[in-house]
Chains A and B, each alone.
Chain A
Amino acid sequence: MTLIPSIGQPVSRLEGYQKVTGAAKYAGEYKAPGMLYGYVVNSTVTKGKITRFDTAKAMSLPGVVEVFSHLNRPSVGKFSLQYADMDAPPGSPFRPLQDDEIIYNGQPIGLVVAETFELARYAATLVEVEYATEFFQTDIRPNVNSARSPKIGMATMLKPPPPKPKGDFQKAYDASFAKSEGEFYHSTEHHNPLELFATTTIYEGDGKLTIYDKTQGTVNSQLYVANIFGLKYKNVRVIAPYVGGAFGSALRPQYQLFMSVMAALELKRSVVVTLDRSQMFTFGHRPQTIQTTQFGADADGKVNALHHAAIGETSRFEDYTEVVVNWAHMIYPAENTLMQYKLVELDVFSPLDMRAPGGATGMHPIETTMDDLAYKLKIDPLHLRLINYSENDASLNRPYSSKELMQCYLQGAEKFGWDKRDPEPRSMRHGNKLVGYGMATGIWEANSLPARAEMILTKEGKLQVNSAVTDIGTGTLTVMTQVAADELGLPMEDVIFSYGDSKKPFAPIQGGSFTVSTIGSAIKAAAGSLRKKLFKKAASMKNGMLKGLELEDVVFKNGRIELKTDPLTFVTYQDIIAENNNEPIKALKFSVPNVLKLKKYSRATHSAAFVEVEVDEELGVINVTRAVTAVAAGKIINPKTARSQILGGMVWGISKAIREETITDHRLGKYMNQNLGEYHIPVHADIHELDVIFVEENDDIVNALGTKGVGEIGLVAMPPAIANAIFHATGKRINHLPIHLNDLL
């Protein structure tokens, strides 16, 4: 039995057992009679034209059913607009197998469909392809001169452009008492969720499809498929109950979805297409970026000049943007600012949101520059943040809906033992290892979007809750069950949350740390409506104890509606259902954030990360031995799953700072380390003591729940805190990520 109310309880994820025992089925694990297996053929060149695509050898193998390419692809989706999904940036989306044009290395150029996966994979190696190659560019560094402003489009709504300049940055900077500047480079990263991308399309006949897709948005995939293939929305059902991690990679439909559906429709059979690990490097990624900063402060440490410029990479067909340079001024209230953001087009696939997109990129230069400024000023880095603390968002001249960053700083510093830090670089040691303490501020937006939710009190007295939303491993199922249970005063066991299905009420894509706020608000709205209906029924019961009362007089508790002042005056849900001729009672609500109210406030989560590193002085080997992150993220519905989110973000921060990178050979225009043996994400031995603090933060403005989301805030402050700690340990400022041991030799 779970406790009532369940909100605030550290409930374990409800589907944990299925996941650890392997019972949970993922998109590529569904079977259907007569199912076929597709394997994708990818381009081995970076740019040019396909001059020959010979499938004779592949087709001659018994069991190979078809090889699709631009030569025989069905004529669907002629217009680029049909491929625009909910998360498409401005431009014209990639159209698989459209023509003979090669626009990036690894581009899908064919699909072999066969009776088994192994056969399809083997046959794919027999497809003979020749190309006429063309000159290409994949390195951002030699191409900064071609940087330009991004195009504006729908997706820009969630990704505002840089704030307008304020005051006179250059003049203020030149006159500053203390100045710090830096140039920063981040290399490409690939999401690499454990689950490989896969789509199983079950061919139902009559233009009907049931699709198991690896996605962060069932409705997004549904729209994408229906639009391209000219199917009725209601005939396309996309299901994704379990998603084995995604981190943004499945925000947009990926090419295996197109391939699987295309083949199923053409062959009139069910088709599963699963990518292999190296193919996970053939669609979106976190873009390479070059950034520069110039911060100036007066003798008291007040920052009065802020300049942050970023150049990000994008493809030649879409303008993928991130919010990289907007953060500094949201945190530090300088009078003179200059923020710039530009793009360089390269011959790569469009970048794609990856956990804390832009934030993880931008906070590193900002917080490293602040650290450097603290050294120039001879002020403790934490103290410098306190000197520049602001209750308001100076970049937009408006208050925060809530901001407990101060408590993050204070509680984090206390728990970490920041006061034991000797500010002198290279002054602290464990044995013969150099020890460094570093800290950094984190910020991430607290958004929510419109969504629908349905609630049904069933005949059995259970609460059925429906939403199309996915659970990408974050604990959505558990947390939404908690929210719904408390709304109706039921134990969690009496709530059934059905999700991950496009047939269920509309939910937007799952990302940006806005899911709990978005779906939670919709559930709250539906619950409000359901409570009204239940009460109405109860109050109208002939011999009911609640006759003649008002909704305000009662509470919904323990499976019944009780008089607030006298719990012995009540009507049970069971009785209400009986009164309703044993028919379930339903409520469906569309919840839309109150834009007019929200516009008056900036809404953000905040964090402070404190990190200890040990660096082997001679060998350069770096270990993050201890880290504390204090987070202010509004109401925490489930401290356990929320803590897991922050821990995961911290691990990712360690990864970004000192481990992972996609290695590109720019002569070939190709990613070289396309496997998890060589793409170095942290292993257990890399992760030491991690601690999370949630500081109390009440916010009745953000949304009805007061939640702000915890998906990305755990990551953003870690890379700069680690880089700062490495500086403290070694006296070396390394401004590219990841920092390798040889940078410190």
Chain B
Amino acid sequence: MNNFDYFRAASVQEAIGLSVEEDDAKYIAGGTNLIDLMKYNLTDAHTLVDLTKIRDHHEIQELPDGGLRLGAFETNAKTAWHPLVEGRYPLLSRAILAGATAQIRNMATNGGNLLQKTRCYYFYDANVPCNKREPGSGCSAIGGYNRIMAILGTNEHCIAVFPSDMCVALAALDAVVNVEGPQGARSIPFADFHRLPGNTPQLDNNLQEGEIITGIDLPANGYAQNYSYLKIRDRNSYAFALVSVATGLKLEDGHIQSARIALGGVAHKPWRDEAAENFLKEKEPSVPVFREAAEIMLAGAVGYEHNAFKIELAKRAIVRNCMMALNPETQVPGAGPSL
């Protein structure tokens, strides 16, 4: 970690300008991930542009279409505890609160959460090959200790997991990411925001050079009646998900009108499967029905030496979480298994 210049941007425009002018500039928000990357010598940031002092994009705002806009610079903690989020998007609130620790959530921002790096051990060790860190150098995780790695959407280039909890709920809710950059503003549907490793495992997402996330829009339907977030991990708090599931169900006359299921801890991005969700439509909710949806979701899963258990675990977690969604009040704090 070297000395660096530090700028406090007053506006998004100023921040974008600074990022274009200064060499090796990086945006910093809560710093909970970026500072670690700097300490591990994984990021060469000569200039930090602090986004958190920008006046705008902090608040949680209602949108005319009945949705909600989450300011990108608002903290994870304030977002999770906001009455509008708790009331209308409890799935999101639960997912955020299942992540990290209270201290980290107090610093971490909504924008930063979308851009956090994988927790792959080999990525964090600058002395071993890693295609994400150094394209073409190889993937140490494939033949190594891969208990925490992905089972879906992997390839020979990278089997890393995108570790966010919040984003699993955002994926389930069909959020939209608003960004502004040197080329202007645009909106990215959540499903298109993060990437699979493909041939470019160094790219986690489709954000372009210099672009800033300004906000996240939630559509009107927050699945507030039947929802559940389940996080399975190696300790009850302060650990990343081995498998997590966000479920939102819309029920009518005892039948599933629409279902949203997103998986965390299993892929390079939050994992959705249209076929599984369509399968559930019009079905009466039951363990066998959810199990079948789970089978569809995990059909293409590939396990590695230490993480093959995740395939069956994910299926069981989906079933459990869907059952929990039928009875949201049974959920325990910390998104542990209940029922």
Interface segment among A297-305, A673-681, A694-702: the answer is A673-681
Q: Is the beta-carbon distance between A665 and B144 smaller than 8 angstroms?
A: yes
Distance A665 CA – B122 CA, assembled complex (angstroms): 10
Stretch at the interface among B9-17, B19-27, B169-177, B228-236: B228-236
Does the CB pair A619–B339 fall under 8 Å? no
Least CB distance from A662 to B in Å reads 11
Centre residue among A121, A668, A683, A742 by max chain B CB count within 10 A: A742
- Give Cα A665–Cα B312 distance, bound, in whole angstroms: 25
Q: Is the CB of B143 within 8 A of A619?
A: no
Contact B232 A685 (CB under 8 A): no
Docked pose: A118 CA to B1 CA in angstroms: 7
Given contacts A665-B145, A678-B119, contact A686 B235 (CB under 8 A): yes
| Separation of A431 and B330 alpha carbons in the complex (Å) | 12
Check B41–A125 contact: CB distance below 8 A: yes
A619 touches B232 (CB 8 A): yes
The residue in B122, B236, B239 that gathers the most chain A C-beta atoms within 10 A of its C-beta is B236
- Known interface pairs A619-B232, A672-B145, A673-B121; A680-B313 also in contact (CB < 8 Å): no
Contact present for A623 and B1 (CB under 8 Å): no
Q: Is the interface of B mostly helix, strand, loop or mixed?
A: loop
B3 x A685 contact (CB < 8 A)? no
CB 8 Å contact bits of B116-141 with A (1 = contact, 0 = none): 00010110010110000000000010
Cβ–Cβ < 8 Å partners of A672 in chain B: 121-122, 125, 144-145
Q: Does B57 contact A (CB under 8 A)?
A: no
Contact indicator B145/A663 (Cβ below 8 Å): yes
Q: Taking the complex as formed, is A684 at the interface, i.e. its CB lies under 8 A from any CB of chain B?
A: yes
Q: Is the CB of B237 within 8 A of A685?
A: yes
A64 to chain B, nearest CB (A): 13
Complex-state Cα separation, A670 to B144, whole angstroms: 11
A interface residue numbers (CB < 8 A to B): 44, 118-119, 121-122, 125, 431-432, 616, 618-621, 623, 659, 663-665, 667-668, 670, 672-673, 677-678, 680, 682-686, 740-742, 745
Q: B145, A686: Cβ atoms under 8 Å?
A: no
List 11 additional contacts besides A623-B236, A678-B119, A683-B237; criterion CB under 8 Å.
Answer: A118-B3, A122-B1, A122-B3, A616-B337, A619-B232, A663-B145, A664-B145, A680-B235, A683-B238, A684-B237, A745-B316
Q: Is the CB of B313 within 8 A of A620?
A: yes
Closest 10 CB pairs of A and B: A685-B236, A742-B309, A44-B127, A672-B121, A685-B237, A683-B237, A618-B316, A680-B235, A122-B2, A616-B337
Q: Are A677 and B3 in contact (CB under 8 A)?
A: no
Q: Is B320 an interface residue (CB 8 A)?
A: yes
A745 neighbours in B (Cβ, 8 Å)? 309, 312-313, 316
B334 an interface residue at 8 Å Cβ cutoff?
A: yes
Q: List 9 A-B contacts (CB under 8 A).
A: A125-B41, A668-B128, A680-B234, A685-B235, A685-B236, A685-B237, A740-B234, A741-B234, A745-B312
CB of B339 within 8 A of CB of A677, answer no
Q: Any chain A CB within 8 A of the CB of B336?
A: yes
Chain B residues within 8 Å of A670, by CB: 125
In angstroms, how far is the closest chain B Cβ from the Cβ of A27?
A: 22
CB A52 to nearest CB in B, in angstroms, measures: 16
- What is the bound-complex CA distance between A524 and B41, given in angstroms? 54
The answer to whether B313 touches A659, judged by C-beta atoms less than 8 angstroms apart, is: no
CB distance from A674 to the nearest CB of B (A): 9
Chain B residues 187-207 with CB under 8 Å of chain A are none
Q: Any chain A CB within 8 A of the CB of B317?
A: yes
Question: What residue of chain B has the Cβ atom nearest to residue A681's Cβ?
Answer: B235
Q: How far is the CB of B70 from chain A (nearest CB, A)?
A: 25
Q: Which residues of B lie under 8 Å from residue A621 when comparing CB positions?
A: 232, 336-337
Residues of B within 8 A of A118 (CB): 1, 3
Query: What residues of B have a CB within 8 angstroms of the CB of A616 in the complex?
Result: 337
- CB neighbours of A659 from chain B (8 A): 234-235
CB neighbours (8 Å) of B339 from chain A are 431-432
- How far apart are the CA atoms of A682 and B237 in the complex, in Å? 9
Q: Whole-angstrom distance from the CB of B64 to the nearest CB of chain A?
A: 40
In angstroms, how far is the closest chain A Cβ from the Cβ of B6? Answer: 14
A505 CB to closest chain B CB (Å) equals 43
Q: Is there contact, CB below 8 Å, between A683 and B313?
A: no
Most buried by B among A118, A663, A664: A663
Nearest Cβ on chain A to B44's Cβ, whole angstroms: 10
| Chain B residue at minimal CB-CB distance from A661 | B234
Distance of A167 Cα from B145 Cα, bound (Å): 45
Contacts of B127 in A (CB 8 A): 44
Q: Of residues 264 to 322 in B, which have CB atoms within 8 Å of A's CB atoms?
A: 309, 312-313, 316-317, 319-320
Cβ B121 vs Cβ A619 within 8 A: no
Roughly how many angstroms separate A745 CA and B2 CA in the complex, as a whole number? 46
Contact A742 B313 (CB under 8 A): yes
Complex Cα–Cα for A668 and B121 (A): 12
Q: B237 to chain A: which residues have CB within 8 Å?
A: 683-686
Residues of A within 8 A of B144 (CB): 665, 667-668, 672
B242 partner residues in chain A, CB cutoff 8 A:
741-742
B235 near A683 (CB under 8 angstroms)? Answer: yes
Contact of B313 among A119, A619, A664 (CB under 8 A): A619
Question: Whole-angstrom distance between the alpha carbons of A565 and B309 in the complex?
Answer: 77
Residue in chain B with minimal CB distance to A431? B339
* Cβ contact within 8 Å between A686 and B236: yes
Q: Which B residues are in CB contact (< 8 Å) with A122?
A: 1-3
Task: Point out the residues of chain A lying under 8 angstroms from B128, CB to CB.
Answer: 668
- Please report the C-alpha to C-alpha distance between residue A665 and residue B339 in the assembled complex, in whole angstroms: 38
| B313: chain A residues within 8 A (beta carbon) | 619-620, 741-742, 745
Partner of A667, one of B121, B143, B236: B143
CA distance A659 to B235 in the complex (A): 7
Of all chain A residues, the one with the shortest Cβ separation from B1 is A122
CB distance from A279 to the nearest CB of B (A): 12
A739 to chain B, nearest CB (A): 11
**Bound-state Cα–Cα, A618 to B41, Å:** 41
CA distance A339 to B127 in the complex (A): 43
Which residue of chain A has its CB nearest to the CB of B239? Answer: A680
Chain B residues whose CB sits within 8 angstroms of the CB of A623 once the complex forms? 236
Given contacts A121-B1, A684-B237, A685-B235, contact A619 B337 (CB under 8 A): yes
State in angstroms the CA–CA spacing of A73 and B319 once bound together.
62
Q: Most A CB atoms within 10 A — which of B119, B140, B235?
A: B235
B119 — which chain A residues lie within 8 A by C-beta? Answer: 677-678
CA distance A117 to B145 in the complex (A): 33
A663 closest partner in B (C-beta): B145
A663 to B122, CA, bound (A): 12
- Given the complex, which residues of A lie within 8 Å of B234, measured CB to CB? 659, 680, 740-741
Minimum distance in angstroms from B104 CB to a CB of chain A: 10
Question: A683 — which chain B residues lie within 8 A by C-beta?
Answer: 235-238
CB closest chain-B residue, reference A121? B1
- Cα distance A376–B239 in the bound complex, in angstroms: 39
List B contacts of A742 (CB < 8 A).
242, 309, 313
Instruction: Tell me whether A619 and B320 are in contact in the complex, defined as CB-CB below 8 angstroms, given that A683-B235, A685-B334 are known contacts.
Output: yes
In the bound assembly, the distance between CA atoms of A574 and B309 in angstroms comes to: 74
B41 and A741 contact, CB distance less than 8 A: no
The CA of A619 and the CA of B309, in the complex, are separated in Å by 11
**In the complex, which residues of chain A have a beta carbon less than 8 angstroms from the beta carbon of B309?**
742, 745
Measured between beta carbons, the chain B residues less than 8 angstroms from A667 are: 143-144
A306→B234 CA distance, assembly (Å): 35
Contacts of A121 in B (CB 8 A): 1
For residue A113, give the distance in angstroms from its CB to the closest CB of chain B: 17
Min CB distance A613 to B, Å, is 13
A contact residues around B125 at 8 Å (CB): 670, 672
Query: In the bound complex, what is the Cα–Cα distance between A186 and B143 (angstroms)?
Result: 22
- Given known pairs A432-B339, A667-B144, the reply for A619 and B1 (CB within 8 Å) is no
A121 to chain B, nearest CB (A): 6
Q: Tell me the minimal C-beta distance from A136 to chain B in angstroms.
A: 15
Question: Are B235 and A618 interface neighbours, CB within 8 A?
Answer: no
Residue of B nearest to A685 (CB): B236
The chain B residue sitting closest to A684, CB to CB, is B237
- In the bound complex, residues from chain B placing their C-beta under 8 Å from that of A431 are 339
> How far, in whole Å, are A740 and B239 apart by their CA atoms in the complex?
14
Whether A619 touches B317, Cβ cut-off 8 Å, given contacts A678-B121, A686-B235, A741-B232, is yes
